[in-house]
Copies of this chain bind each other. A is one copy, B any other.
């Protein structure tokens, strides 16, 4: 396992700021790549195929599911999301650390298939903060936001299945903590085997 990259999963309630943290982390961390998810949902304004997501038709997605090409996948808010297995495994074997910014269902699927993965749960400073962040996301209707907030509460129940919890107060502070977690994980004796 020595020389192999570490697979880190970053999850947390919608609106908690996973995307911002993942972006900042990637910019500041050498030899780390963010996995690009595949999804059947429509692109939001500014999202680019192959960069933000791989945008797939529902048919294409299901074909890849059938061929077991996904490391994890789930249906959320009526759309499918998943992580393609091959690019992740290639990066890890090449000594790169890989960050997956995925929901908790996906995170737990990854942990089952890759027990050596590191699961980090991003917590909002408080519930008001989370509502405010979601409300500022202009692309979603109020009904969508409500649906997301209810789901956020459910997501907290998954917290204890994660290895680490980091409160997203300051992005720089969160990035520094996640970098510390990655340094620490590389020193774990069971990874020497």
Please give the residue numbers on chain A whose beta carbons come within 8 Å of chain B beta carbons, in ascending order. 120-121, 159-160, 162-166, 176-177, 179-181, 183-185, 187-190, 192
Q: Does the CB pair B177–A164 fall under 8 Å?
A: no
Q: Does the CB pair A184–B164 fall under 8 Å?
A: yes
Selected contact of A189 from candidates B163, B176, B188, CB within 8 Å: B163
Give chain B residues whose Cβ lies under 8 Å from the Cβ of A185: 184
Give chain B residues whose Cβ lies under 8 Å from the Cβ of A121: 189
Q: Which 8 A-B pairs have the closest CB atoms?
A: A184-B184, A180-B183, A180-B180, A164-B187, A181-B184, A165-B189, A180-B184, A162-B189
Selected contact of A187 from candidates B166, B189, B192, CB within 8 Å: B166
Give chain B residues whose Cβ lies under 8 Å from the Cβ of A164: 184, 187-189
How distant is the Cα of A159 from the Cα of B166 in the complex, in angstroms? 29
How distant is the Cα of A164 from the Cα of B177 in the complex, in angstroms? 17
**Which residue of chain B has its CB nearest to the CB of A184?**
B184
How distant is the Cα of A165 from the Cα of B186 in the complex, in angstroms? 9
